[in-house]
Amino acid sequence: MGLSKSPLLAAHGLAGATFVEAAGWLVPASFGSVEGECAAVRTAAGLYDLADRGVVSLVGPDARRFCNGMFTNNVRDLAVGRGNASAMVDERARVQGLLRLYHTGTEAFLAVLEGVTPEAFEARYGKYIIFDDVELTDVSEQYGVLSVQGPDAAATLRRAGLPVPEGEGALVSVEALHVATNARSVPGGYDIVAPRDALPALWAGLLGAGAEPVGLDAREVLRIEAGIPRWPVDMSEKSLIHELRLVPTHASFEKGCYIGQEVINRIDVMGQVTKKIWGLEMGLDALPPAGAEVKIGEDIVGTVLSGAREGTRVRVLALLRKAAWEPGKAVEVHAAGRIVPATVSDLPFST
């Protein structure tokens, strides 16, 4: 089977993109300058092609109740025109994936999957649909996802003639096009879920409105800078949302029963978290590999998860034990026979 490709592949090629394989997709790695693309997001507006994100619809009289019982965030009280982020967890509260869920109509929800394939999502949740009146459908062939990030993102949407949601979790739908607030960077921005055949015109319109195209390399720099963990890169099926710092954005303690609720509540009340995602800053020509040990003296205090290089600056996300939970603390990363000094940083990183 060949690589999956975005409907915008030709446009990316004309814009001078270099490409890379990522999770079975051929995606633009860069449009010429990682530093320039990062600067566009930090100071103006950058445009992401997220065609690799799976999109699933959940429709029916029981859709709200079903989603509320499956995912970690509050769907019970989610009004039409609102959305939130959730984790998919098992009965032991171990993370199985991430998603954003949007309430698009009276009995209709749209889920944008983060690192989870529609096939895996359907296999996991289809088995729970027994007596529920809800239809779960993979609509990834019909929908694609773009994202506009940066302090000028709202103005860019307006110049392109697109609606601008106001406030955290806001969603504006115009027929089959949905625009939602979603911070994929420190400045924040908006996701656009739209019919795939509309993506080329939307892409061109947003570039014409002042957005700069941003490839995967720069997106990773910006994601790590924001301290946003990515499934399954920064987590495994043994990870807990407390370790990933996802509780404030991905969980609710007011929603009633759901899969994994008892364990999540117990961990939250008792504070039994011994490791957590932090940032590390270092100067290194090459990135330390995932799994590299983080040490204080002879003691192993953590492992590297993922990292990105911007110029000569390297930043990584690492899963650290309590002994290293101190911004500014000096540690060492042991990678490929080298010992590299690093400094612990809270998240998000300071830009």
Residue 280's DSSP bridge partners are: 316, 344
pLDDT grade for 284, boundaries at 50, 70 and 90: confident
CA 125 to chain centre: 20
Q: By the 8 A CB rule, do 152 and 68 touch? A: no
Please give the average per-residue pLDDT across 253-265, as a whole number.
94
Domain ranges of the chain: 4-53+141-226, 55-138, 274-351
- Greatest pairwise CA separation for the chain in angstroms: 60
Q: What is the mean pLDDT of residues 150-173?
A: 97
User: Would you tell me how many other CB atoms lie within 10 Å of the CB of residue 163?
Assistant: 17
Is the model's pLDDT at 134 over the cut of 80? yes
pLDDT tens sequence across 166-191: 999 999 999 999 999 999 999 999 99
Instruction: Give residue 333's pLDDT band: very low, low, confident or very high (50, 70, 90).
Output: very high
What average pLDDT does range 22-34 have in this prediction? 96
The predicted-structure confidence for 207-253, as pLDDT tens digits, reads as follows: 999 999 999 999 999 999 999 999 999 999 899 999 999 999 999 99
pLDDT value at position 286?
Answer: 76
Amino acid in position 163: P
Tokens 């404030």 belong to residue: 248
The type of residue at 1 is M
Phi, psi for residue 252 in degrees, rounded to 5: -130, 140
Would residue 160 be called left, alpha or beta, if left means φ above 0 and alpha means ψ between -120 and 50 degrees? alpha
Q: Which CATH number fits domain 55-138: 3.30.70.2190, 3.30.70.1400, 2.60.120.620, 3.40.50.300?
A: 3.30.70.1400
Q: What gap in Å lies between CA 247 and CA 206, rounded to an integer?
A: 33
Which segment of 84-88, 117-121, 153-157, 271-275 scores lowest on mean pLDDT? 271-275
The SS3 of residue 33 is coil
For residue 40, what are the CA distances in angstroms to 93, 117, 140, 216? 38, 30, 29, 14
Q: Which 8-state DSSP code applies to residue 261?
A: H
Q: Looking at the predicted structure, is the pLDDT value of residue 350 above 80? A: yes
Q: Quick one: what percent of the chain has pLDDT higher than 70? A: 100
Calculate helix-pair angle for 216-226, 34-43, nearest 10 degrees. Answer: 50
Task: Specify the CATH superfamily of domain 4-53+141-226.
Answer: Probable tRNA modification gtpase trme; domain 1 (3.30.1360.120)
Q: Are strands 55-59 and 135-138 parallel, antiparallel or unpaired?
A: antiparallel
- Structure confidence at residue 283 (pLDDT): 85
Q: Residue holding tokens 């509260």? A: 93
Q: Is the pLDDT of residue 62 over 80?
A: yes
Residue 1: predicted pLDDT: 63
What pLDDT is attached to residue 88? 97
Homologous superfamily of 274-351 in CATH?
Aminomethyltransferase beta-barrel domains (2.40.30.110)
Query: d(Cα 79, Cα 91) in Å, to the nearest integer?
Result: 27
